Amino acid sequence: MSPRTEKQFEVIREERKAQIKEVALEIIFEEGFQNTSISKIAKRAGISKGLLYNYYKSKEDMIREIIFDGMEKFMIIFDPNKDGVLTDEEARFFIDEMFDILRSNIKYWRLYFSVMLQPKVMLLIQDKFMEMMGPLMNILIFYFSQKGSENPVVDTRMVIAMIDGFAFHFVLDPKHFPLEEIKKRLYKLI
């Protein structure tokens, strides 16, 4: 058996981190962020506490990475050419891709949304969260102002809240969620 390559080690490392993150989400969902410890996460993940610290300095660092990795999946598909201008086609692309991302791992996204809404978690992420959301909001404000909106800031906040709500309801009940009808309505609205 030949020695592992650097790329193989990286794949193993990323797989282990994904396993740790999923376990952490489950425990935080079940017990709350404050009641979750590195020891509990390590034990359920089947690794030593010391090894877990090779991946994360603290549970706070871990939860930040989990939340921002999830957000990044959506940021990448918003304004895909990164020119700072949202076209109608890019808006439709975002809506379609958003639901595909959610559909790809519903269990993960259920846990993600429930953990993200915990007050202690929000305190940890709120500054960077707003920093990440700022450019997206500015693009939407410009988009709605170009469309002749009377109040592009309010329209932006409304659309973001609606998308959050649709995503949340979709992951809670994907079987009964009227996905195609919602997408059609969103296309018209945006």
pLDDT tens per residue, range 106-149: 888 888 888 888 888 888 888 888 898 999 999 999 999 999 99
Domain boundaries, the chain: 6-189
CA–CA distance, 56 with 62 (Å, rounded to integer): 6
Q: What is the pLDDT of residue 1?
A: 61
CA–CA distance, 9 with 17 (Å, rounded to integer): 12
List, for residues 47-78, the tens digit of each pLDDT value.
999 999 999 999 999 988 988 888 898 889 99
- Of the pLDDT bands very low, low, confident and very high (cuts 50, 70, 90), residue 186 is confident
Q: What is the pLDDT of residue 12?
A: 82
Name the burial class of residue 81, with classes exposed (0-12), middle (13-18) and buried (19+) by CB atoms within 10 angstroms of its CB.
Answer: exposed
6-189, what's its fold? Tetracycline Repressor; domain 2 (1.10.357)
Residue 95 has pLDDT above 70, yes or no: yes
CA–CA distance, 100 with 58 (Å, rounded to integer): 31
Whether pTM > 0.85 for this model: the answer is no
End-to-end CA distance of the chain: 56
Q: What is the mean pLDDT of the chain?
A: 90
CB contact at 8 A, 49 and 42: yes
> In sequence order, what DSSP letters do the residues of 16-77 get, joined into one string?
HHHHHHHHHHHHHHHH-TTT--HHHHHHHHTS-HHHHHHH-SSHHHHHHHHHHHHHHHHHHH
| Residue corresponding to tokens 């450019």 | 135
